[in-house]
Amino acid sequence: TNGLVMKLESPGNNCITHDFNFGRPSAGSWQAISIPMSQILASKEACFSLANVNAAFDILPAWGDQRGVQLRLRNIRFE
């Protein structure tokens, strides 16, 4: 009910960007999502390294909202 979030990770203890909640897509429809890289990098933990990313696209339900989630992804790009 609280939507989906995405984040990036690099090796190390908690070397992540913060979660970006892009809301709850309507059932049965596609939703385009765009997050500027500058916004992602502005929210990173100090140890996060864009040059050493090991999870370039983590997507998950908002915490505490993970029952019955199904989703499909397509056309994922980093520009």
pLDDT in tens, the chain (79 residues): 678 888 999 999 999 998 888 888 787 888 888 888 888 889 999 999 989 999 888 888 877 777 777 778 888 887 7
pLDDT at position 35: 84
pLDDT at position 46: 93
pTM of the model: 0.72
Q: How far is CA 45 from CA 15, 56, 67, in A?
A: 6, 15, 28
Q: How many CB atoms lie within 10 A of CB 13?
A: 7
pLDDT at position 44: 93
Angstrom distance (rounded) from CA 30 to CA 72: 9
Cβ–Cβ under 8 Å, residues 21 and 43: no
Cβ–Cβ under 8 Å, residues 58 and 15: no
